[in-house]
Amino acid sequence: MFSLSEENYLKSIYHLEAIHGKGISTNSIAKKLETKASSVTDMIKKLAEKEVLVYKKYQGVSLTKLGRKEATKIVRKHRLWEVFLVEKLNFSWDEVHDVAEQLEHIKSPKLIDELDVFLGFPKMDPHGDPIPDKDGKFQKIEKKLLSTLEENKIGICVGVNDSSSDFLKYLDKNNISLGQKIKVLSKESFDGSSTILINSKEITISKKISNNIYIQS
Amino acid sequence: MFSLSEENYLKSIYHLEAIHGKGISTNSIAKKLETKASSVTDMIKKLAEKEVLVYKKYQGVSLTKLGRKEATKIVRKHRLWEVFLVEKLNFSWDEVHDVAEQLEHIKSPKLIDELDVFLGFPKMDPHGDPIPDKDGKFQKIEKKLLSTLEENKIGICVGVNDSSSDFLKYLDKNNISLGQKIKVLSKESFDGSSTILINSKEITISKKISNNIYIQS
DNA sequence: AAATAATTTTAGTCTTGTCTAAAAAATTAT
DNA sequence: ATAATTTTTTAGACAAGACTAAAATTATTT
Ligand SMILES: [Mn+2]
Ligand SMILES: [Mn+2]
Ligand SMILES: [Mn+2]
Ligand SMILES: [Mn+2]
């Protein structure tokens, strides 16, 4: 059994590995968890003891199979709860993350699988992220950043890279949501900003924005 | 804001006050929380600081209005989650308590009130206990212990005094559930056991059992 | 190849919540 | 009223998880 804190470390390392591959640095974990590197060192020693990750001094860490399995369970819980909040409790997609951060730590063998049944085995969470099934399996969907789309090309919004309330509210304000068609009208090479057509409206978005929107094209 | 541990103390003291009135002893709190009296002393000092209870050395504690309000919130959450688990996730009444013990600590202004809406503002939890509304109000239902019912009198089961899985499974096994009519056929003065008619079947139950079933008559 | 900078680890401290053992106070029995 | 018992509090310790400051290691410049 893992403590709330241990679970948060596992999840963070899992997400970091998804982006950067094996060998996650102490500092990057510290940044993600908004804690100090020294605290991370303490904790990863403990997690190495528990054999959910491999740790060599100064070399960063990598999850073991067991560690990945545990992390996947937490991600599954997080995303299923997010679906529940949006589908059943009238939460909007920018309100769910913080509550799901708490709910993902509830321990009950039955709870999460029944929730899955109740929700009809959803494959995606409200932000377009895949939900692992009971066995931890999920299909990776084809997606790329809007920032990589060339001028005059069209894509469909299928996810976001940042689930913060601030960013999602910005998207709402500009009528950007999952399933929306987005056409890149022009790109400014100076600052990376681009003008896009969405909902038959032209808007200009910064590089930071287009770097946080996933599309399928 | 209160920690998980503080919330558990508040809830326990609240429940003890409901039975024994003001001035709850250190020992009784320790017993309820399965901890040591010395730990309780430490914690009630902290809670007194936070003005949720009044504490005088060697005199036990009493909740303040604020303390009662906080405790009621937690009870509301606990019972609403229990309803959710039974009504929506196919839990039986003996499976919900432990999960609700975890869920009751989730902090979200919106979550619990939306859950209330989603469930249709239930007035009772699966064990017949009243659910406080948004303002902490709830009606106390008229009920007494089955053990106080005289021979040949009839009552309707409206609640249980013990929500442990073991006890509830015993009730299931004997087809005793909320809403059931129960007639006391005879009472044995020697050990307090009684023979009752339920579901047109005669069964003999111990004093301990009849002391944990609430009826309306 | 040094020197400098950045990263990581260690050492020591703190807070929360718990515990045991001993002391103090209150209660009960004689 | 005194003694014995029970309850409660205090004192000191510990584990988890975090922090700061300093030391050790690795990476980057010059
Ligand atoms: Mn999320
Ligand atoms: Mn999400
Ligand atoms: Mn319960
Ligand atoms: Mn209940």
Dist CA B195 CA B209 (whole Å): 11
Segment B63-112, tens digit of pLDDT: 999 999 999 999 999 999 999 999 999 999 999 999 999 999 999 999 99
Are B107 and A106 inside 8 Å of each other by CB?
Answer: no
Nearest to B172 by CA among B88, B77, B67, B93: B93
Asked whether residue B149 is assigned to any structural domain, the reply reads: yes
Segment B107-129, tens digit of pLDDT: 999 999 999 999 999 999 999 99
Cβ burial, residue A134 (10 Å; 0-12/13-18/19+): exposed
User: Which bases of chain D come closer than 7 Å to a protein CB?
Assistant: 7-12, 16-22, 25-26
Question: Could you tell me what percent of chain B has a pLDDT over 70?
Answer: 100
Are B99 and A106 inside 8 Å of each other by CB?
Answer: yes
Through-space separation of residue B68 CA and nucleotide C24 C1' in angstroms: 31
Structural domain including B205 reads 144-216
Asked whether residue A12 is assigned to any structural domain, the reply reads: yes
Q: Which residue's C-alpha is at the least distance from the C1' of C24?
A: B58
Asked whether residue A98 is assigned to any structural domain, the reply reads: no
Through-space separation of residue A129 CA and nucleotide D20 C1' in angstroms: 38
> Which amino acid is located at B214 in the chain?
Y
Ranges under pLDDT 50 in chain A: none
CATH of the domain at B27: 1.10.10.10
Model pLDDT, residue A209: 97
Asked whether residue A97 is assigned to any structural domain, the reply reads: no
Asked whether residue B128 is assigned to any structural domain, the reply reads: no
Asked whether residue B136 is assigned to any structural domain, the reply reads: no
Domain stops at, among A16, A45, A63: A63
Could you say which residues 30-89 of protein chain B have a Cβ atom less than 7 A away from any atom in strand D?
37-38, 40-42, 44-45, 55, 57-60
Task: Give the largest CA-CA distance in chain B.
Answer: 56
User: Helix or strand or coil: residue A4?
Assistant: helix
Through-space separation of residue A67 CA and nucleotide C10 C1' in angstroms: 26
Domain stops at, among A41, A63, A85: A63
What string of DSSP letters covers A30-96?
Answer: HHHHTS-HHHHHHHHHHHHHTTSEEE-TTS-EEE-HHHHHHHHHHHHHHHHHHHHHHHHS---TTTH
| Domain count for chain A | 2
Domain stops at, among B46, B63, B80: B63
Tell whether B99 is within 8 A of chain A (Cβ).
Answer: yes
Asked whether residue B87 is assigned to any structural domain, the reply reads: no
Model pLDDT, residue A67: 98
Rounded to two decimals, the pTM is: 0.94
CATH of the domain at A149: 2.30.30.90
Distances (CA, A) of B210 to B12, B31, B93: 23, 23, 19
Dist CA A98 CA A12 (whole Å): 15
